[in-house]
Amino acid sequence: MSTIKSKCELDYYAILNVPRDATKEQITLSYRKLAISCNPHRNSEHDEDFIPQSWQGDLDHLNGLTREKQWAYINMAYDVLSNPLRREIYDRFGEAGLFRGVPLPNGYFPPYMYHGDHLKVYHSVFGSYSPFANLIDVATNPPPLYSNKNGQGVRIKDLPVEKMIPLELKEVFFGTMKRMKIFRQEFIDDLQTVTEKREKTILVNIPAGTKAGTKFIFSNEGDRSPTTIPADIIFITIDKPNEDYIRDENNLIHIHEISLFEALVGFRFSLQTIDDRKIVTLITDVVDQNYEKIIYGEGLPVLNAEMDGLEKGDLILRFKIIFPAIIPRHLKCELKTLFDEIDEENKNII
């Protein structure tokens, strides 16, 4: 392959102030120093606090360029050199080959185009859009410490503890207050060094219409310890099975068994609702396996403060047809005659 050359090409290694054989770690370290030094979003008043004096000359090789140009060039250079394939293409074919694309033995390298989002590159390295996020956070919010006979250390928060709250459909319908008992280590001395396991009751307010999987988080309610920050206790709601209803979000599904005779000629049945009312339903249609009837507003409350719990889902009635186990021979002939007449009537309707 012939090398592609261009008269006006940027030297990405020179921009990042690293040798051409620099390792990925050296490239990243140099970028971090340059990015902190020339990030246009930082407050220059804090330079003395957060930029070491040894870094002050890091931008000398970019003198003559505006802060915005320096910022753009170092991010583009890092975007190229931090990617092994882009770096190899740049090393072999220069900036021109990078931008035009080049054929490779096993395929084709498409033209590279820098996305132009400098903070996206910055975020990928620092994990934050703030120029000094980690340093400022430590300075303004120092981590809690502990000290004991073994020395001093940073108190790290324990992992969250999750507990399930099974709910009856009636509890979801009306809302409820759950008294959840937990056992945790608690301090029993004034110096907060000795603990013992004790019972604690946490009140969990479950609003009407709460969906399964809803999390109620109680911060720092876990075990007390001199060396750690108590864990958050997270209660997660789950729905208990109900013999009459299946929950589908805010809708309720009821499956009612009917005979083949009822499916053909119609029927009436009553159903007890979650809030202990009785609904009487008359079905006059022919019911097949896909038939369903919707009774609007008879489902579970929709969790919506603006509606004050007045909005509800629907009650969906579905039917399971129970066929007779046997049909006597003499009745089969009568049924054939009957269904022939039904087919004829349907043809006349069509």
Block means of pLDDT (10 residues each) for the chain, length 350 residues?
A: 52 91 89 80 52 52 78 91 90 88 78 87 72 50 65 77 92 93 89 87 92 91 87 92 91 92 90 91 89 92 64 92 86 81 72
Q: What is the CATH number of the domain that holds 302?
A: 2.60.260.20
How far, CA to CA in Å, does 318 sit from each of 169, 230, 249, 285, 297? 19, 49, 17, 13, 17
Q: Are residues 114 and 159 in the same domain?
A: no
Q: Are residues 79 and 17 in the same domain?
A: yes
Q: Are residues 223 and 254 in the same domain?
A: no
Q: How many CB atoms lie within 10 A of CB 80?
A: 21
Q: What is the pLDDT of residue 127?
A: 67
Does some domain include residue 278? yes
Does some domain include residue 283? yes
Three-state SS for the chain is: CCCCCCCCCCCHHHHHCCCCCCCHHHHHHHHHHHHHHHCCCCCHHHHHHHCCHHHCCCCHHHCCCCHHHHHHHHHHHHHHHCCHHHHHHHHHHHHHHHHHCEEECCEEECCCCCCCCHHHHHHHHHCCCCCCHHHHHHHHCCCCEEEECCEEEECEECCCEEEEEEECHHHHHHCEEEEEEEEEEEECCCCCCCEEEEEEEEEEEECCCCCCCCEEEECCCCCCCCCEECCCEEEEEEECCCCCCEEECCEEEEEEEEEHHHHHHCEEEEEECCCCCEEEEEECCCCCCCCEEEECCCCCECCCHHHCCCCECCEEEEEEEECCCCCCHHHHHHHHHHHHHHHHHHHHHC
Q: Are residues 103 and 160 in the same domain?
A: no
Q: Are residues 289 and 332 in the same domain?
A: yes
Could you identify the residue written with the tokens 């109680």? 218
Does some domain include residue 4? no
Final residue of a structural domain among 239, 274, 306: 239
Does some domain include residue 114? yes
Q: How far apart are the first and last CA of the chain?
A: 76
Asked if 121 and 75 count as a contact pair (C-beta separation under 8 A), the reply is: yes
Q: Are residues 170 and 266 in the same domain?
A: no
Q: Are residues 235 and 269 in the same domain?
A: no
Does some domain include residue 168? yes
Residue 92 Cα to chain centre, angstroms: 43
How far, CA to CA in Å, does 169 sit from each of 36, 51, 101, 240? 56, 60, 62, 7
Does some domain include residue 130? yes
Q: What is the pLDDT of residue 41?
A: 67
Q: What is the CATH number of the domain that holds 31?
A: 1.10.287.110
Q: Are residues 40 and 110 in the same domain?
A: yes
Q: Are residues 120 and 44 in the same domain?
A: yes
What distance in Å separates the CA atoms of residue 101 and residue 1, rounded to the nearest whole number?
Answer: 13
Q: What is the pLDDT of residue 1?
A: 39
Q: Are residues 273 and 227 in the same domain?
A: no
Asked if 252 and 298 count as a contact pair (C-beta separation under 8 A), the reply is: yes
Q: For residue 329, is it left (φ>0), alpha (ψ between -120 and 50) or beta?
A: alpha
pTM for this predicted structure: 0.56
Q: Are residues 83 and 133 in the same domain?
A: yes
Q: What range does the domain containing 267 cover?
A: 246-344
Q: What is the pLDDT of residue 341?
A: 76
Does some domain include residue 63? yes
Does some domain include residue 148? no
Final residue of a structural domain among 211, 239, 267: 239
Q: Are residues 224 and 172 in the same domain?
A: yes
How many folded domains does the chain comprise? 3
Final residue of a structural domain among 183, 210, 239: 239
